[in-house]
Amino acid sequence: VRNAGVQENRAKLSELDPGAAERLNPGDTARIARALEVALSTGRTLAEWQGRREDGIGSDIELKSIVLLPLRDWLNRRCDERFEKMIEHGAADEVKALLARRLDPDLPVMRAIGVREIAAWLNGDVTREEAIATGQQATRRYAKRQYTWFAHQPPETWPRFREPLENSHVADALALLGAKP
């Protein structure tokens, strides 16, 4: 499936799971491949699997949600620190190993934050500092998209914390969740 062309996969998916073929964007190669893999390996559509409600622990637990919306400056600092730690802890070696495998650049693993930026550094196209700066920027952009989604999509009944969960805020969050600090 992963080696076949998108048109071939979409045609096969139309036969095995017409609902998914209709629903999925024709350019979304990853989701088309996943839906086709599920249908081929299980004989069931992805919607059938997602609609199943038996088994699991879902009925045994009560989920409570909170939304963390920290101050942007704090979040951006944490994003920058995270990328620097990735570099310090061997991200370049991981990317070097990925590059050695000569994987399709469109695969999700090759599109992960940091892979392109570090690959450009390893290939000599940019300096280490430039790779770190662009990797940090990509991390901040991803965090911004997540922040925007969480600020507007979850139900208003979900409590929102706009301060970093430090000190007293942790106790407040735990109290809302019904846990003891």
pLDDT tens figures, 35-64: 999 999 999 998 888 887 666 666 677 778
The model's pLDDT over 101-113, given as tens digits with 9 standing for 90+, comes to 999 888 889 999 9
Cα–Cα dist 159/145, whole Å: 19
The model's pLDDT over 57-70, given as tens digits with 9 standing for 90+, comes to 666 777 788 888 98
Cα–Cα dist 41/157, whole Å: 40
Same fold, 6-51 and 70-154: no
What is the model's pLDDT at position 63? 78
Q: What is the mean pLDDT of residues 143-163?
A: 89
- Does domain 6-51 fall under CATH 1.10.20.140? My reply is yes
Instruction: Please choose, from the candidates 101, 169, 87, the residue with its C-alpha nearest in 3D space to the C-alpha of residue 129.
Output: 87
- What's the predicted TM-score (pTM) here? 0.66
Cα–Cα dist 20/48, whole Å: 11
Per CATH, the architecture of 70-154 is what? Answer: Orthogonal Bundle (1.10)
8-state DSSP, 68: E
Q: Where are the domains of the chain?
A: 6-51, 70-154
